[in-house]
Every structure is written in C-alpha cells, then in structure tokens.
Structure 1
Amino acid sequence: MDSIRVFAPATVANVACGFDIFGFAVDNPGDQITLTTSDEPGVRIVDIIGDGGRLPREAARNTAGIAIQTYLQHIDRTDIGLDIVLHKQMPLGSGLGSSAASAVAGVFAINELLGRPLPILKLLPFAMEGERVACGSAHADNVGPSLLGGFVVVRSYNPLDVIKIETPATLFCTLVHPDIEVNTKDARFILKNEVSLKNTIIQMGNVAGLIAGLMTPDYSLISRSLVDVIIEPVRAILIPEFNEAKKAAIDNGALGCSISGSGPSMFALSRDAQTAEKIGVAMQQAFSAVGITSEAYVSEINRQGPRVLPN
C-alpha cells in the first residue's frame, strides 16, 4: 500500500468514579486520517479539515504527527516519507478524547501501512506521546480505549499496565456536547490536591462496584456505582445546566450520567438504543432551555477501536 485511511473513535474518560483510570470507546464521533507515502523523507501534515485552523500543522507539535514520528524512530524507519491529511470530526476541547483519536488514528495507520511490525498494545506509548503534546501529560485513559476498543482500566503508569474488560452486550452510551468549551488544563487546575478519607472510601467502593457490574453483568450495580463524589462536584460548575441535564438523563431511564473527560460533554449509560435516544433528546432540551445548542450521539460501546476505511 502507498496510502491508507483510518478511523479512530472518540472516548469517554473517567466514567464518573474512575478519574484518570477508566475509559471506553464509542462508535461515533471519531477522527479520520489519511497517510500517503512520499519520496521525500519526513512526516508532513499537508491538510487538517474541520479544526477551523486551530491545530498546529507542524508534525512535531501535532498529536497525530508526533505519534507517527516517535513510532518511526522506535522501529528505525525515519527514512520514510509520509504526507498526512487529518479530518477532525468532533469538537476540540469537547471532553470526547479528540486529541487521543487523532494520535491513535495516526499510529494505527502507519503500523498498518508498514505491515504491522508491532502488536497493537505496543502502539500505546506512541499514542500517549500525542497526548503529551496536546495537554502536557501522557495519560492513557483516552488513547487506551480508542486504540484497544471497549472499556479499559489504567492500573498503572510505571510500569504501564492497561487492562481491557468485558462489558454487557446491550450497554448504550448517550453523549451530549453543549456548544461551550472547557479547557483541560483549567479543568485540572480547579481540582483539590487533597481528598477526605470518607470520600476516598466511597469512591473506591464505586470503582470496584462498576467493574463488577460491567463484568457480571449487573445493571443495577452499574447504576449504583456510577457516582463520583470527588471530581464531578468540582467540575460541574464549569458546565451550565449540568444538574438539569443530569436530572433529565436519570428521569428518562439512564443508569447514570456524568462528565465525559474534563467536559463540557456529558455521557449517560442505558440498557437499550430507544432509551439512549430518549435520554439524548431530554438532555439537549435541558441545555436549549437556557439558549445553549448541543450535539448528541448515541452508540453501543465500540469494542473494535480503530479501523481501516476504504480509500
């Protein structure tokens, strides 16, 4: 192949109680990347579509570009020439893992283009370098599920230990992105450095309960465990109408509802597609009541991760 086109999915990180350790992939939205080989060595970004001109065109400063560069350095193939076209299909600063999807799409695409010299799990550190460029921290709670698909647990960073767990076949996610922007660095800055022992114990119980509920599966346990007593109460103030949108989700059958990543997007989990659609409408109505427009997406958990698209 001299060209390849790849889709990588958006993700929900934190998943209420699992700050920085939980994440899962969704079917929609996501980012696309096209890589084309060139006679001129080096990695070049020739076009970015859908970013409004906001993302850097220099490969070393772009999440997809740096992920590909570090991958090529690792396998000692810096002689290769690559032209990149990145198609952003989700809002920037949305809390949907936009930078992660671009990094994953890039490193997955180059690995496929070169005949898969590395197994997929070995691609994770390169995608994490894309996150470092985007927000200053090489975290894995977005790139992990985007690359591996499904629901992942980041048990440790030193050494890196990421585990993919089974989820119920009929678990649906509703994502609602209000048209406001929350900066990831700001969302981290407002967090408290210390947490009470009481809240730590509650949160640990919910973390364990959510994993058990997903793997059993036990929808009632999933619902009881989708509670965040540490991060959500602080970050909710950054999202207008958060409480109203969350109440709308619960009132319309959601198992639970919380902030996706650092926000402003919100997610809700439910047991079927019809309920998930109903939840999306209700949450959007809560935002529109105060003049905030929004986008809604409904899908099952994406268990595949990135995929090659026809050129």
Structure 2
Amino acid sequence: MARFLLRRLVTSVVVLAGLAVVTFLMTQVLPGDPARSAAGRNATAEQVARIRVQLGLDQPMWNQFTGYLNRLLHGDLGTSVFTQRPVLDDIGAMLPSSVELVLAAMTINIVVAVPLGVYSAYRRGRTTDVAARLVTLFGAAVPVFWLGLMLQLVFAAQLKVLPLTGQLAFGQEVPKITGMTSVDALLGGDLPAFGDALLHLALPAVTLAASFVAVVARTVRSSMITALDSDYIALARATGASELRVVVRHGLRNALVPASTILGMQLGWMLGSTVLVESIFGRTGIGAYAVTAVLQNDLYAVIGTVLVIGVVFVVANIAVDLVQLWLNPRLRQRSRRTASPETPAGPVVPTVPEVIA
C-alpha cells in the first residue's frame, strides 16, 4: 500500500507540474493585457508600464516562468484585479459554498443513480428497465441552463414551494464557521436557518446532479448486468443465498468498481459545472467567481480557479484508487505482486470463492 500511494503521489506531482506549465502558457497566449486590466481602462501609458514592471511582465519568458513556479510553491496565486485581494484568499472564501453545492449534488447522484442502475439491470428488458433508461437519457440530453430555468419556473415561480435564488432568505444570517451555509446554520443551532438553507440548496443541487445521475446510472446498469451474468453469481445462488444478498453483496460490490471511477471524476466535473448553476441561481462560489473573473479579464483569478479545480481532480483520482483497492480484491493482489520483486508481474485470475468473499 505504501508503494502504491508513493507511485500515485509521484504521478500526481507530475500532473500538477504539467498543469502549472499549461496555466503559465495561458498567461502568454490569452488575449488581453494583465497590466492594462490591473491599471484600469483610464490609466496612462506610464501607469500601465509601471504596473507591468511590478507584475514582472517586462522580464523574459523564462524569468517569468521561474517566478511563477516560485510563487506557486509558496501558495501565491497572484492578486485579483477585480477585488484587489490575493486570489488564494478569494478562492478560500468562495470554495466552501461550491463544495456545499457539489456535496449535495453528489449525494443526490449516488442516492438516485446507484439504485436506479441496479434496479434497471435486475429488470433488464422489461418495461421498468426501458422507462429508467429513457429517464437517464433525458437527464443526459437536457442542457444544464435550460433545466435550471425550468425548475425555477415550475417550483419557484408557479408552485412557490422552493426559493428562486440565493442561499438564505432575505434578512436571514448565520455565523460563518465553515463557509457552508447549511453546515454553519446547523453548527450554530439555528434550525429554521438550516431548513431555509436546504430549501435554497434543493433546486441548484438537482440541476447540477441531473446529467451526472444519467452517466452513473447507465454505468452501474452495464456493470451490474455483467456481474449478474458471472459464474460467481450463479455459485452464490446455488449455495442458497437470498436474492437480495446475491444482488447487493456479490453483484453490486463488483459493479461499483467502474462506477467509483466515474463518481470520483465527477467531483471535479461538478466543481467546474458550478459556473453555470451558481450564475443561474445567484449563489456565491468558485463558479460565480470564475464568471466574474472572465468578464473582468482578471487573468490571475481565472488561472487560480483552473489550478484549484485541477488539484480537486488529482485528489479525487487518488481517492478513487484507494476505493477501488478496497472494493476489488484482484487489484490488491495485483498491487502486492507488482510490489514484490520475487513474484513475476502478470494478471491475477482469482478463484470464484475469492471473488465472492
């Protein structure tokens, strides 16, 4: 396990280094002059030149790159042109709200997609299976912005059962502890504010989760069909195990291996997708921050957002690898054999009892 984690950490460092190079190149090729943006539209040429020297933009590209890497190693993402604050501080203030939204959407994703995929696979070929596949196809095809607007129209404007925008009702406040409105309300013991925060979170979370539910449900269905047709499932049934135990204990555990990969990657995708959702529902977060940064030509804020989302992808990949090691005994055996110099590397073919166990 230690060697496995070490390999993953080395790979992650290489990926992050590549991401740093790409983000630096963004500063060189994207249109717009960061010095002009920082100085303001009405700044004189002398003021722009002075800002350019302060930002180091007058240096050769190699010097700019080494300085950029040095700042990254010290946690300096630059200063936002729009807020005049360090980008890292801005992202630190905005990120918890987006994490709250992503966690709510991921909860909906897992709670809806996994049972739907399992049930669809178990009833494959029947009317309920066809209906479930049509629902997932609709979820994958509907644009996020259209779904968000339709949910606002139906549940907020017409039925008036859920709030239209925002994170809390007007005049409602909670102490800032974690930056997540619902969690802060709960930690502060304000149950009415907690309920109000959940109501404000409902429509954005459903909008964000819709397309991801479709992907996970179809992945679980495909993997579950393969698992249910396997020999170890037939053996489990022959031993007299109940149908629920066969499906959940033996089939679902193996079917979750590919689904866990998708779920882990979706964390990063969801964080990137908050750009649209937060704009539609008027929520503060890293997505809304990125939109403002683009509109204001705030290059350092855009690059900082890209770097943070990239780090989330890397951490999610490591977490997925650990979950897969726990779910799949074959991966653990392959990892042990690869790490052992006495044992030749090669595919591990487990016996049926080993897979069932």
Structure-1-length-normalised TM-score = 0.29
More helix by share: 2
Q: Whose radius of gyration is greater, 1 or 2?
A: 2
Structure-2-length-normalised TM-score = 0.26
